[in-house]
Amino acid sequence: MKKNWPYLLIAISAALWGLIAIFVQGLRAYGFSPIQIVTIRAISAGILLVIYVLIKDRKLLKIKAKDIKYFLATGLLSIVFFNWAYFTAIQEISLSLAVVLLYTSPAFVAIISRFVFKEYLSLKKVIAIMIMLMGSSLVVGLLPSLDIAISWYGLLIGLGSGLGYALYSIFGKLASNKYSSTTITTYTFLVASAGLIPFSGLWGMKEVFYQNEVMFLSIGLGLFPSALAYILYTVGLAKVETSKAAIMANIEPVVAMIVGIFYFGDMLTAWQLIGGILVLSATTLVQEKKAKSTIYSK
């Protein structure tokens, strides 16, 4: 059981990401745009993490100037870029296809990790990625109907969102060799906030923030599917291969599907159930059968 705890942390983080619709839908009801919600998420998570670090251990805020590149990458190239690309893809192509293209991220992680971390691209990983993509396609309703509205620009932007999503695993892994998960997550959201605020237009919505429910939703969005989820994922990421962590994290659409059923009253189809089973099968496929040491463990 002990050797599996990093996988458990990654699974919990993915489950927390799957809860995001609860907070997003709540904020949308108050008139916030997608980019404003992403900015609220980054700001709220950043503030909560700074408060936590100041109380726990201020030394966690100390980083070397040369290492700011890691957090510029996780904050701007990953958080900011993948959200921009994802929302743009939704406007250009169908939501279902945009979601599936976002979840091409494990394929990008596996390929990049082969060169950056020298991780072996095994047949088992390739099979797991294919199963995961098929399962995700079923969960979001892209398969089996193949009802696709697509443009080349939308396709490229959608793949770009998958790449941006993947970059957190890559740069987060590199940073984990020097810094704790709390430090990495804190600076990631602080950098993301700085990159998002100038383009968000949030200052035009300041009156709305005075409402208690908006404050509750904002804090919840920053805490559960953001600060806590990324901390747990980064802790697990430091102990397992990057490509395996990325595949494990893709139980998120399954959790989102469950939230849709029990919280929003969505109807579950047989194809979605099959898709959820496939995604979960892909995550179990990449787990180690026996304990192995890794040069990437801290």
Is residue 144 within 8 Å of residue 86, measured between CB atoms? no
- Model confidence at 2, pLDDT cuts 50, 70, 90, reads low
Peptide bond into 225 cis (omega under 30): no
Give the max Cα distance, the chain.
55
Q: Are the C-beta atoms of residues 193 and 76 closer than 8 Å to each other?
A: no
Digit-coded pLDDT (tens) for 242-263: 999 999 998 998 999 899 989 9
If you average pLDDT over residues 36-49, what whole number do you get?
Answer: 96
Name every residue whose Cβ is closer than 8 Å to that of residue 7 and which is 6 or more positions away in sequence: 236, 240, 244, 248, 287
Return the minimum-mean-pLDDT range out of 51-55, 136-140, 171-175. 136-140
pLDDT score, position 285: 86
Q: Which of 13, 40, 52, 50 is nearest to 217 (CA)?
A: 40
The model's pLDDT over 201-234, given as tens digits with 9 standing for 90+, comes to 999 998 898 899 999 999 999 999 999 999 999 9
The residue with tokens 């709390």 is: 182
How would residue 147 be classed by pLDDT, with cut points 50, 70 and 90?
low
Answer with the residue of higher pLDDT: 102 or 292. 102
The single-letter DSSP state of residue 241 is -
pTM over 0.85: yes
Higher pLDDT, 81 or 288: 81
Residues 234/42/251/133 CA torsion (nearest 10 deg): -100
Q: Is the pLDDT of residue 298 over 50?
A: no
Confidence band, pLDDT 50/70/90 cuts, at residue 296: very low
